[in-house]
Amino acid sequence: MKIHDARSWEREAACAGTDPRLWFGEDDVRESGSDAHRRRENAKAICRTCPVLTDCLVDELLRPHPEQHGIRGATTPGERARILARWRAAGLVPGHASPANADALRALLGEEPRQRTA
Ligand code: SF4
């Protein structure tokens, strides 16, 4: 999926090169509730330092089939579902990655519309 500038923001991702297990947990390993909570909070702490947090979150929320696991844009899947519910309540249509929808979602998140290059 492409939004605006072909995901050039991913080059600035603070999670680049980190262990994916921090974001998704370890395959076939059942975490205790406290371990999962600690892992998610550690991942969110990295997200909060990320210069492209909003780009990441908007990209995730505009997917036709949102990721059901893992931390993206300092949110859990449940937190993203609540943002999408607010988006639907505002009369907007999730799952359609137009620049207008991306800007509407940015506004909902309290961000300015993205400057577009021609
Ligand atoms: S907000 Fe988090 S998951 Fe998204 S690119 Fe940044 S560090 Fe990675």
* Model confidence pLDDT, tens digit, residues 32-88: 999 999 999 999 999 999 999 988 988 888 887 766 789 999 999 999 988 888 888
CA distances from 46 to 29, 53, 89 (A): 23, 10, 30
Structural domain boundaries in the chain: 3-116
Q: What is the C-alpha radius of gyration for the chain, rounded to an integer number of angstroms?
A: 15
Mean pLDDT within 97-108: 75
Tell the residue number behind the tokens 């021609």, with chain if given: 118
* Model confidence pLDDT, tens digit, residues 10-27: 899 999 999 999 998 888
Residue 75: strand pairing partners: 72
For residue 58, report the distance from its CA to the centre of ligand 1, in Å. 11
How many residues appear in the chain?
118
Pocket test for ligand 1, best of 8, 46, 61 (most atoms within 8 A of CB): 46
Pocket test for ligand 1, best of 3, 12, 56 (most atoms within 8 A of CB): 56
DSSP-based three-state secondary structure for 40 = helix
Q: From the CA of 60, give the closest atom in ligand 1.
A: 4
d(Cα 63, Cα 70) in Å, to the nearest integer?
15
pTM: 0.79
Specify the residue with its C-alpha closest to ligand 1, atom 5: 13
For residue 118, report the distance from its CA to the centre of ligand 1, in Å. 26
Q: In terms of pLDDT, which residue wins out, 107 or 52?
A: 52
| Contact criterion met (CB below 8 Å) for 46 and 90 | no
